[in-house]
Structure 1
């Protein structure tokens, strides 16, 4: 019998075809905002409810947290166990324009808020031309093809030797001078690929090599992405695939957030690019 961590990703994979199939009829805005003040789509709320129903009953999962919910929910009856943090529909604004979006899953071995070092597994589902899933655990990352009748192992995920693409979010006029100078150096060697859904952009980095990031901005020094739901899980995946992560000064897995919805500047990709980033921002 599989353990609770495996069953979390089984549940995410089982829900993926239903989530994908339900998106066309849920493209409208919901009459609500999430905890971060973002207007929700019907698809955001629906995907969160669906995943909660699939994950909350897994024995060994004691806490459930979502980008779409204000508080961490206690779903088990023990004092220890795993906490599951999800971005149920990353890039949901892409649903209306029929561009890729995804689901992000992080499994922590202590209640939230928790440090990145407490992650024991992380992964994501990508709803692209095909539905795929990447799961990272024990220092390795594996890709799966997800279909209605189950998932097929496509083999290990490892960053290519050389970086090829980059994508950085935020409006350019809102970038800091140091970050803009860093990007000008990057664009001399890498190709711009940015689609507005973190998971799709990160997956391009895993396939082609390079870097993805959302920086701290003049108007928002903490950036846009949330540590528990997006930044630390994606960092875990990329580091397990042989890459690196950074908040501008060190690995995202060294973070210890004070609150569940805390944001952080977020960068993942090749170690060489992360080193150049940290050197540029330190200046």
Structure 2
């Protein structure tokens, strides 16, 4: 119920939502809830930094490259530090895998928990300086083996993930997240400084009218990918309308729109990037986990993204994800 000042006196905050889910899950200890709450603190701090970037001189390049060869922006470094500091001190994580760090970050033994968190602290950072929507992506695994954490503990398929989510920093700040019980969206309410449930049980349409890809790389695509994109731009059936093209260049923003409106997001392999560009552990797998929770589909062009057995923590893979019928149509071309 909203009061006279516009504040809902019975709002479903993200903490309250997670506690309700915890109660309905036999054997739950609350440790994942604690981890996610600390992660939300990092997200709120990043959202604040993004809004103040111009004033606080946080635009521009930090002067170095990350482990995958991308130039680090100042906000990249800040976001990465926030994720690491928040997650390594909450007592629930044992190892962190970041796009910005070549090696795993091992949590000190006195603060060590049972979860492994993989994350891209600031997705789409090439768009920072021009105020385009950017985001954060994360995936969470539970450590299965005794002893100190090692790389092998996280080199597992996405089917073993226990939770995944992303934060979108745009006109507002939104978190979309799943703990394996559907996909739900929470919007940051500046009145109370917390995330409030605004999109319960997000479900993607079976078919959309939008495709999202960087067509600037068409020159390097496999002909099968070119043929598929041509088929939705120039449908043979005159009664069918061409698909609209939308591409932001931030995976979080492009996939978020795909969740809401349906369609397909694709980042195929090409002759310049034969293994694709998106990283499996902290981009493709978390998004694939959420896409399937929303009733969609995610493939690398041959098999389900979440069934890929990773061989390295910064491994890349092609991605085709979105509405089930759209991905099915795409696969007909890729496997022809």
Normalising by the residue count of structure 2, what TM-score does the alignment of the two structures yield?
Answer: 0.80
**3-state SS in 1 of match to 2:286:** helix
Correspondence 1:159-178 to 2 at 5 A: 159-169=204-214, 171-178=217-224
Q: Does residue 107 of structure 2 align to residue 70 of structure 1?
A: no
**3-state SS in 2 of match to 1:95:** helix
* TM-fit CA distance, 1:268: 1.2
Deviations 1:53-93 (A, max 9, x none): 11112223111110000111221539982110010000011
Once residues 138 and 21 of structure 1 are traced to their aligned partners in structure 2, the CA distance between those partners, rounded to angstroms, is 29
Kindly indicate whether the alpha-carbon contact (under 8 Å) linking 1:213 and 1:268 is maintained by their aligned counterparts in 2: yes
* TM-fit CA distance, 1:7: 2.7
- Of stretches 174-183 and 21-30 in structure 1, the one that deviates more from structure 2 is 21-30
- Of stretches 209-218 and 163-172 in structure 1, the one that deviates more from structure 2 is 163-172
Select 1:145's aligned residue among 187, 190, 207: 187
Once residues 151 and 16 of structure 1 are traced to their aligned partners in structure 2, the CA distance between those partners, rounded to angstroms, is 10
Kindly indicate whether the alpha-carbon contact (under 8 Å) linking 2:207 and 2:326 is maintained by their aligned counterparts in 1: no
- Runs of at least 4 residues off by over 4 Å: none
**3-state SS in 1 of match to 2:117:** strand
Once residues 60 and 16 of structure 1 are traced to their aligned partners in structure 2, the CA distance between those partners, rounded to angstroms, is 17
Select 2:71's aligned residue among 26, 29, 39: 39
Q: Does residue 109 of structure 2 align to residue 109 of structure 1?
A: no
Listed as ranges, the gaps of 5+ residues in structure 2 are 1-18, 20-28, 144-152, 236-241
- Of stretches 165-174 and 264-273 in structure 1, the one that deviates more from structure 2 is 165-174
- Of stretches 22-31 and 174-183 in structure 1, the one that deviates more from structure 2 is 22-31
Kindly indicate whether the alpha-carbon contact (under 8 Å) linking 1:59 and 1:76 is maintained by their aligned counterparts in 2: no
**3-state SS in 2 of match to 1:171:** helix
Once residues 37 and 245 of structure 2 are traced to their aligned partners in structure 1, the CA distance between those partners, rounded to angstroms, is 34
Correspondence 1:150-229 to 2 at 5 A: 150-154=194-198, 155-169=200-214, 171-187=217-233, 188=235, 189-229=242-282
Once residues 290 and 324 of structure 2 are traced to their aligned partners in structure 1, the CA distance between those partners, rounded to angstroms, is 14
**3-state SS in 2 of match to 1:36:** coil
Tell me which protein shows more strand as a share of its residues: 1
Which residue of structure 2 aligns with residue 11 of structure 1? 38
- Of stretches 91-100 and 164-173 in structure 1, the one that deviates more from structure 2 is 164-173
Once residues 203 and 36 of structure 1 are traced to their aligned partners in structure 2, the CA distance between those partners, rounded to angstroms, is 24
Once residues 99 and 46 of structure 1 are traced to their aligned partners in structure 2, the CA distance between those partners, rounded to angstroms, is 18
Kindly indicate whether the alpha-carbon contact (under 8 Å) linking 2:207 and 2:325 is maintained by their aligned counterparts in 1: no
- Rg (Cα) greater in structure: 2
**3-state SS in 1 of match to 2:224:** helix
Kindly indicate whether the alpha-carbon contact (under 8 Å) linking 1:250 and 1:278 is maintained by their aligned counterparts in 2: no
> Aligned pair count?
283
* TM-fit CA distance, 1:19: 1.1
- Of stretches 72-81 and 121-130 in structure 1, the one that deviates more from structure 2 is 72-81
- Of stretches 108-117 and 67-76 in structure 1, the one that deviates more from structure 2 is 108-117
**3-state SS in 1 of match to 2:109:** coil
Which residue of structure 1 aligns with residue 82 of structure 2? 50
Once residues 161 and 112 of structure 1 are traced to their aligned partners in structure 2, the CA distance between those partners, rounded to angstroms, is 32
Normalising by the residue count of structure 1, what TM-score does the alignment of the two structures yield?
Answer: 0.94
